Amino acid sequence: MDGTKPVMESSAEEAQDEGQESKGCFECCIKCLGRVPYPSLVATILCFCGVALFCGCGHVALTSTLAMLENYFSTVTTDHATLTAVIQVFQYIIYGIASFFLLYAVILLAEGFYTTGTIKKELQSDFKTTVCGRCLTAFFMVLTYILALGFLAIFCFTAIPVFVFFNMWNTCAGLRSPDSNITFPDSVCVDFRQYGIIPVNATPGKACGTTLVDVCNTSEFYLSYHLYIVALAGAGATVIALLHFLMILAANWAYLKSAASTHDYQDIKTKDDQDLEAEARSKEGQNSSSSYS
Protein backbone atom coordinates (compact mmCIF):
# COMPACT_ATOMS: atom_id res chain seq x y z
CA MET A 1 0.00 0.00 0.00
CA ASP A 2 2.78 2.41 0.87
CA GLY A 3 4.48 1.77 -2.46
CA THR A 4 1.45 2.82 -4.46
CA LYS A 5 1.08 6.20 -2.70
CA PRO A 6 4.02 7.95 -4.49
CA VAL A 7 2.71 6.68 -7.81
CA MET A 8 -0.76 8.08 -7.10
CA GLU A 9 0.70 11.40 -5.94
CA SER A 10 2.86 11.71 -9.06
CA SER A 11 -0.13 10.93 -11.27
CA ALA A 12 -2.19 13.58 -9.50
CA GLU A 13 0.60 16.14 -9.92
CA GLU A 14 0.94 15.33 -13.61
CA ALA A 15 -2.82 15.71 -14.11
CA GLN A 16 -2.72 19.03 -12.25
CA ASP A 17 0.19 20.24 -14.37
CA GLU A 18 -1.64 19.25 -17.56
CA GLY A 19 -4.76 21.07 -16.35
CA GLN A 20 -2.76 24.21 -15.60
CA GLU A 21 -1.04 23.99 -18.96
CA SER A 22 -4.32 23.63 -20.83
CA LYS A 23 -5.80 26.45 -18.78
CA GLY A 24 -2.78 28.58 -19.58
CA CYS A 25 -3.18 27.92 -23.32
CA PHE A 26 -6.89 28.76 -23.13
CA GLU A 27 -6.20 31.99 -21.27
CA CYS A 28 -3.48 32.86 -23.77
CA CYS A 29 -5.87 32.29 -26.69
CA ILE A 30 -8.56 34.42 -25.04
CA LYS A 31 -5.99 37.13 -24.38
CA CYS A 32 -4.79 37.08 -28.00
CA LEU A 33 -8.34 37.16 -29.33
CA GLY A 34 -9.11 40.10 -27.06
CA ARG A 35 -6.29 42.09 -28.64
CA VAL A 36 -7.58 41.67 -32.21
CA PRO A 37 -9.12 44.90 -33.60
CA TYR A 38 -12.16 43.28 -35.16
CA PRO A 39 -13.58 46.45 -36.78
CA SER A 40 -10.22 47.11 -38.46
CA LEU A 41 -9.99 43.46 -39.48
CA VAL A 42 -13.45 43.55 -41.10
CA ALA A 43 -12.59 46.81 -42.90
CA THR A 44 -9.29 45.31 -44.11
CA ILE A 45 -10.97 42.19 -45.52
CA LEU A 46 -13.63 44.34 -47.21
CA CYS A 47 -10.92 46.62 -48.66
CA PHE A 48 -8.94 43.62 -49.96
CA CYS A 49 -12.03 42.15 -51.64
CA GLY A 50 -13.15 45.48 -53.10
CA VAL A 51 -9.76 46.40 -54.50
CA ALA A 52 -9.22 42.91 -55.91
CA LEU A 53 -12.60 42.93 -57.66
CA PHE A 54 -12.17 46.45 -59.01
CA CYS A 55 -8.61 46.04 -60.24
CA GLY A 56 -8.90 42.48 -61.60
CA CYS A 57 -12.26 42.89 -63.33
CA GLY A 58 -11.48 46.42 -64.50
CA HIS A 59 -8.23 45.32 -66.13
CA VAL A 60 -9.83 42.44 -68.03
CA ALA A 61 -12.88 44.54 -68.97
CA LEU A 62 -10.69 47.24 -70.51
CA THR A 63 -8.84 44.64 -72.59
CA SER A 64 -12.11 43.08 -73.81
CA THR A 65 -13.58 46.49 -74.59
CA LEU A 66 -10.58 47.41 -76.70
CA ALA A 67 -10.85 44.13 -78.62
CA MET A 68 -14.56 44.74 -79.27
CA LEU A 69 -13.93 48.28 -80.51
CA GLU A 70 -11.12 47.12 -82.81
CA ASN A 71 -13.29 44.41 -84.38
CA TYR A 72 -16.58 46.26 -84.85
CA PHE A 73 -16.34 50.03 -84.28
CA SER A 74 -12.86 51.15 -85.25
CA THR A 75 -11.24 48.79 -87.72
CA VAL A 76 -8.44 51.21 -88.64
CA THR A 77 -5.66 50.98 -86.06
CA THR A 78 -4.60 54.62 -86.37
CA ASP A 79 -8.12 55.80 -85.49
CA HIS A 80 -8.01 54.37 -81.98
CA ALA A 81 -4.28 54.65 -81.27
CA THR A 82 -4.93 57.29 -78.62
CA LEU A 83 -7.60 55.12 -77.02
CA THR A 84 -5.19 52.18 -76.87
CA ALA A 85 -2.59 54.33 -75.14
CA VAL A 86 -5.18 55.65 -72.66
CA ILE A 87 -6.36 52.13 -71.83
CA GLN A 88 -2.78 51.03 -71.22
CA VAL A 89 -2.29 54.00 -68.89
CA PHE A 90 -5.48 53.06 -67.03
CA GLN A 91 -4.22 49.50 -66.65
CA TYR A 92 -0.94 50.72 -65.18
CA ILE A 93 -2.92 52.95 -62.82
CA ILE A 94 -4.91 49.89 -61.78
CA TYR A 95 -1.65 48.12 -60.91
CA GLY A 96 -0.65 51.08 -58.75
CA ILE A 97 -4.06 51.28 -57.06
CA ALA A 98 -3.98 47.57 -56.20
CA SER A 99 -0.47 47.74 -54.72
CA PHE A 100 -1.07 50.93 -52.78
CA PHE A 101 -4.43 50.02 -51.26
CA LEU A 102 -3.35 46.53 -50.25
CA LEU A 103 -0.33 48.01 -48.45
CA TYR A 104 -2.37 50.85 -46.96
CA ALA A 105 -5.00 48.44 -45.59
CA VAL A 106 -2.25 46.43 -43.87
CA ILE A 107 -0.84 49.63 -42.36
CA LEU A 108 -4.27 50.64 -41.05
CA LEU A 109 -4.74 47.15 -39.61
CA ALA A 110 -1.38 47.47 -37.83
CA GLU A 111 -2.48 50.87 -36.53
CA GLY A 112 -5.64 49.21 -35.24
CA PHE A 113 -3.54 46.63 -33.37
CA TYR A 114 -1.44 49.44 -31.89
CA THR A 115 -4.47 51.43 -30.76
CA THR A 116 -6.20 48.35 -29.34
CA GLY A 117 -3.06 47.46 -27.41
CA THR A 118 -2.84 51.00 -26.09
CA ILE A 119 -6.45 50.92 -24.93
CA LYS A 120 -5.91 47.57 -23.22
CA LYS A 121 -2.93 49.03 -21.39
CA GLU A 122 -5.05 52.00 -20.38
CA LEU A 123 -7.67 49.67 -18.92
CA GLN A 124 -4.92 47.93 -16.98
CA SER A 125 -3.64 51.29 -15.64
CA ASP A 126 -0.45 51.11 -17.71
CA PHE A 127 -1.34 53.73 -20.27
CA LYS A 128 1.54 54.81 -22.46
CA THR A 129 1.07 56.83 -25.61
CA THR A 130 2.95 59.65 -27.27
CA VAL A 131 2.02 62.79 -29.12
CA CYS A 132 3.60 61.22 -32.21
CA GLY A 133 1.23 58.25 -31.97
CA ARG A 134 -1.82 60.48 -31.76
CA CYS A 135 -0.57 62.64 -34.63
CA LEU A 136 0.00 59.50 -36.71
CA THR A 137 -3.60 58.45 -36.12
CA ALA A 138 -4.79 61.93 -37.13
CA PHE A 139 -2.63 61.78 -40.26
CA PHE A 140 -4.14 58.43 -41.27
CA MET A 141 -7.60 59.85 -40.63
CA VAL A 142 -7.04 62.79 -42.99
CA LEU A 143 -5.38 60.58 -45.62
CA THR A 144 -8.21 58.03 -45.45
CA TYR A 145 -10.74 60.82 -45.91
CA ILE A 146 -8.94 62.02 -49.05
CA LEU A 147 -8.64 58.47 -50.41
CA ALA A 148 -12.34 57.86 -49.75
CA LEU A 149 -13.22 60.93 -51.81
CA GLY A 150 -10.85 59.80 -54.54
CA PHE A 151 -12.29 56.29 -54.70
CA LEU A 152 -15.79 57.75 -54.67
CA ALA A 153 -14.80 59.61 -57.85
CA ILE A 154 -13.47 56.31 -59.26
CA PHE A 155 -16.79 54.68 -58.38
CA CYS A 156 -18.68 57.36 -60.32
CA PHE A 157 -16.26 57.05 -63.25
CA THR A 158 -16.73 53.25 -63.32
CA ALA A 159 -20.49 53.76 -63.58
CA ILE A 160 -20.02 55.37 -67.05
CA PRO A 161 -19.09 52.18 -68.96
CA VAL A 162 -21.80 50.29 -67.06
CA PHE A 163 -24.32 52.86 -68.28
CA VAL A 164 -23.05 52.67 -71.89
CA PHE A 165 -23.09 48.87 -72.00
CA PHE A 166 -26.47 48.77 -70.28
CA ASN A 167 -27.95 50.97 -73.00
CA MET A 168 -26.35 48.79 -75.65
CA TRP A 169 -27.71 45.65 -73.96
CA ASN A 170 -31.25 47.10 -73.88
CA THR A 171 -31.01 48.11 -77.54
CA CYS A 172 -29.99 44.60 -78.54
CA ALA A 173 -32.75 43.13 -76.38
CA GLY A 174 -35.26 45.33 -78.20
CA LEU A 175 -33.96 44.16 -81.58
CA ARG A 176 -34.19 40.52 -80.57
CA SER A 177 -37.65 40.82 -79.04
CA PRO A 178 -40.54 39.72 -81.31
CA ASP A 179 -42.83 42.25 -79.62
CA SER A 180 -40.68 45.26 -80.45
CA ASN A 181 -42.41 45.93 -83.84
CA ILE A 182 -39.33 47.57 -85.34
CA THR A 183 -40.01 48.19 -89.04
CA PHE A 184 -36.45 49.10 -90.03
CA PRO A 185 -33.96 47.29 -87.74
CA ASP A 186 -31.00 48.78 -89.60
CA SER A 187 -32.05 52.22 -88.41
CA VAL A 188 -31.41 51.20 -84.77
CA CYS A 189 -27.73 51.88 -84.09
CA VAL A 190 -25.22 52.26 -81.30
CA ASP A 191 -22.62 54.91 -82.09
CA PHE A 192 -19.58 54.94 -79.80
CA ARG A 193 -18.41 58.18 -81.40
CA GLN A 194 -21.12 60.12 -79.59
CA TYR A 195 -19.61 59.10 -76.24
CA GLY A 196 -16.17 60.39 -77.22
CA ILE A 197 -14.65 56.92 -76.81
CA ILE A 198 -13.38 56.84 -80.39
CA PRO A 199 -12.76 59.83 -82.71
CA VAL A 200 -15.44 61.18 -85.02
CA ASN A 201 -13.60 60.00 -88.15
CA ALA A 202 -13.38 56.39 -86.92
CA THR A 203 -14.58 53.75 -89.36
CA PRO A 204 -17.29 52.48 -89.13
CA GLY A 205 -17.88 54.07 -85.70
CA LYS A 206 -21.29 52.49 -85.19
CA ALA A 207 -23.13 49.17 -85.40
CA CYS A 208 -26.72 48.84 -86.61
CA GLY A 209 -29.38 46.16 -86.90
CA THR A 210 -28.14 42.60 -87.22
CA THR A 211 -24.53 43.74 -86.86
CA LEU A 212 -25.40 45.26 -83.48
CA VAL A 213 -27.08 42.01 -82.42
CA ASP A 214 -23.96 40.09 -83.46
CA VAL A 215 -21.83 42.44 -81.38
CA CYS A 216 -24.04 41.85 -78.34
CA ASN A 217 -23.67 38.10 -78.83
CA THR A 218 -19.86 38.23 -78.76
CA SER A 219 -17.91 37.08 -75.74
CA GLU A 220 -16.08 40.41 -75.60
CA PHE A 221 -19.29 42.35 -75.05
CA TYR A 222 -20.75 39.85 -72.59
CA LEU A 223 -17.52 39.65 -70.59
CA SER A 224 -16.91 43.40 -70.56
CA TYR A 225 -20.46 44.26 -69.50
CA HIS A 226 -20.54 41.90 -66.54
CA LEU A 227 -16.98 42.65 -65.48
CA TYR A 228 -17.72 46.37 -65.43
CA ILE A 229 -20.65 45.64 -63.11
CA VAL A 230 -18.41 43.59 -60.79
CA ALA A 231 -15.73 46.32 -60.91
CA LEU A 232 -18.38 48.88 -59.96
CA ALA A 233 -19.41 46.71 -57.00
CA GLY A 234 -15.75 46.37 -56.00
CA ALA A 235 -15.26 50.14 -56.10
CA GLY A 236 -18.36 50.57 -53.93
CA ALA A 237 -17.06 47.99 -51.44
CA THR A 238 -13.73 49.83 -51.28
CA VAL A 239 -15.49 53.12 -50.57
CA ILE A 240 -17.45 51.47 -47.75
CA ALA A 241 -14.22 49.98 -46.37
CA LEU A 242 -12.49 53.37 -46.40
CA LEU A 243 -15.45 55.00 -44.66
CA HIS A 244 -15.32 52.20 -42.08
CA PHE A 245 -11.61 52.85 -41.58
CA LEU A 246 -12.37 56.56 -41.24
CA MET A 247 -14.90 55.97 -38.46
CA ILE A 248 -12.48 53.64 -36.66
CA LEU A 249 -9.61 56.14 -36.87
CA ALA A 250 -11.80 59.01 -35.69
CA ALA A 251 -13.04 56.98 -32.70
CA ASN A 252 -9.51 55.83 -31.80
CA TRP A 253 -8.10 59.33 -32.09
CA ALA A 254 -10.84 60.79 -29.90
CA TYR A 255 -10.40 58.03 -27.31
CA LEU A 256 -6.63 58.38 -27.21
CA LYS A 257 -6.86 62.14 -26.86
CA SER A 258 -9.42 61.87 -24.06
CA ALA A 259 -7.45 59.16 -22.28
CA ALA A 260 -4.22 61.15 -22.57
CA SER A 261 -5.89 64.26 -21.10
CA THR A 262 -7.35 62.20 -18.27
CA HIS A 263 -4.00 60.66 -17.43
CA ASP A 264 -2.26 64.03 -17.58
CA TYR A 265 -4.83 65.37 -15.12
CA GLN A 266 -4.32 62.37 -12.84
CA ASP A 267 -0.54 62.82 -12.96
CA ILE A 268 -0.85 66.51 -12.05
CA LYS A 269 -3.28 65.68 -9.25
CA THR A 270 -0.97 62.97 -7.89
CA LYS A 271 1.97 65.36 -7.96
CA ASP A 272 -0.03 68.05 -6.13
CA ASP A 273 -1.11 65.52 -3.49
CA GLN A 274 2.50 64.48 -2.99
CA ASP A 275 3.59 68.12 -2.62
CA LEU A 276 0.84 68.77 -0.08
CA GLU A 277 1.78 65.65 1.86
CA ALA A 278 5.45 66.63 1.86
CA GLU A 279 4.57 70.13 3.00
CA ALA A 280 2.38 68.74 5.79
CA ARG A 281 5.20 66.47 6.96
CA SER A 282 7.67 69.35 6.99
CA LYS A 283 5.27 71.43 9.10
CA GLU A 284 4.81 68.53 11.51
CA GLY A 285 8.58 68.22 11.79
CA GLN A 286 8.95 71.94 12.53
CA ASN A 287 6.21 71.81 15.16
CA SER A 288 7.74 68.81 16.86
CA SER A 289 11.19 70.44 16.92
CA SER A 290 9.79 73.67 18.37
CA SER A 291 7.92 71.75 21.09
CA TYR A 292 11.10 69.94 22.15
CA SER A 293 12.97 73.23 22.34
Give CA–CA dist 39/8, Å, rounded. 50
The answer as to whether 82 is a domain residue is yes
Q: Report the candidate in 141, 216, 137, 140 with the shortest Cα–Cα distance to residue 176.
A: 216
Q: Taking the CA atoms of the chain, what radius of gyration do you get in angstroms?
A: 34
Decide if pLDDT at 10 tops 70. Answer: no
- Average pLDDT for residues 76-89, to the nearest whole number? 87
Print burial letters for 165-176: b (CB count within 10 Å at least 16), e (below 16). Answer: beebeebbeebe
Residue 189's pLDDT band, with cuts at 50, 70 and 90, is confident
The answer as to whether 268 is a domain residue is no
The model's pTM: 0.76
The answer as to whether 168 is a domain residue is no
The answer as to whether 49 is a domain residue is yes
Residue 77: give the domain boundaries: 39-123+132-156+220-259
Asked if residue 164 lies in contact with residue 195, where contact means CB atoms within 8 angstroms, the answer is yes
The answer as to whether 101 is a domain residue is yes
The answer as to whether 165 is a domain residue is no
The domain total for the chain is: 1
The answer as to whether 91 is a domain residue is yes
Residue 113 is predicted with a pLDDT of 80
Residue 82's pLDDT band, with cuts at 50, 70 and 90, is confident
The answer as to whether 59 is a domain residue is yes
Residue 123 is predicted with a pLDDT of 46
How confident is the model over 216-269, as pLDDT tens digits? 899 999 999 999 999 999 999 999 999 999 999 888 877 777 665 665 545 565
